């Protein structure tokens, strides 16, 4: 069985999407699903390609005990829409970019804004704000964490995945 592939997308791939990637990868590992869910992130722009997450993103993740090692910014590619099952944008602007990209082919991926995808209530939907300009990295973490927990639950249910927490045996 092929792993479920999830891609998070923001503008530069140094703040929101790598934070989402690290948190989600951490949650996936805690549920014993690391071999069944592949997680990545990318940016719509190429400004930071090859760079690690922003130092303030790293600090928030470190404070939460979430590893981010090895992450490097990359730009989203049209092939990502074929290779991933879920491509989740952090905001309306990045979603519009992905939708324009999707018009040039038949994407396999479900493409949506993250908060729209995981929240049934319109009151909870919208953009994940960019902390690059506001400095509100902890607030972004506080918004992402429960959304990503919901996303994992949705994927587990949609894909019928069994969880095997670390330290337990798989059948």
Catalytic residues: 10, 16, 130
Q: How far apart are alpha carbons 142 and 80 in whole angstroms? A: 27
Angle of CA points 58, 64, 65, to nearest 5°: 85
Q: Within 13 Å, how many C-alpha atoms sit on residue 110's CB side? A: 14
| Continuous H helices in the chain | 16-30, 55-63, 80-83, 92-102, 114-118, 131-134, 137-159
Q: How far apart are alpha carbons 136 and 129 in whole angstroms? A: 9
Look at the block and give the residue holding tokens 């909870």. Answer: 124
The token pair at 137 is 């990295």
């Amino acid at each position: 069985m092929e792993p479920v592939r999830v891609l998070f997308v923001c503008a530069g791939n140094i703040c929101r999407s790598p934070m989402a990637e690290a948190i989600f990868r951490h949650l996936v590992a805690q549920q014993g699903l690391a071999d069944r869910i592949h997680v990545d992130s990318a940016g719509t722009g190429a400004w930071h390609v090859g760079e690690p997450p922003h130092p303030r993103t790293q600090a928030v993740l470190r404070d939460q005990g979430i590893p981010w090692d090895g992450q490097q910014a990359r730009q989203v590619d049209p092939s990502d829409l074929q290779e991933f099952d879920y491509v989740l944008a952090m905001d309306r602007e990045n979603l519009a970019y992905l939708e324009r990209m999707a018009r040039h082919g038949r994407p396999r991926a479900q493409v949506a804004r993250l908060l729209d995808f995981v929240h049934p209530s319109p009151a909870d939907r919208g953009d994940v704000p960019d902390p690059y300009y506001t400095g509100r990295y902890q607030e972004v973490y506080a918004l992402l964490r429960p959304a990503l927990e919901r996303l994992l639950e949705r994927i587990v249910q949609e894909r019928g995945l069994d969880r095997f927490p670390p330290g337990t045996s798989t059948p």
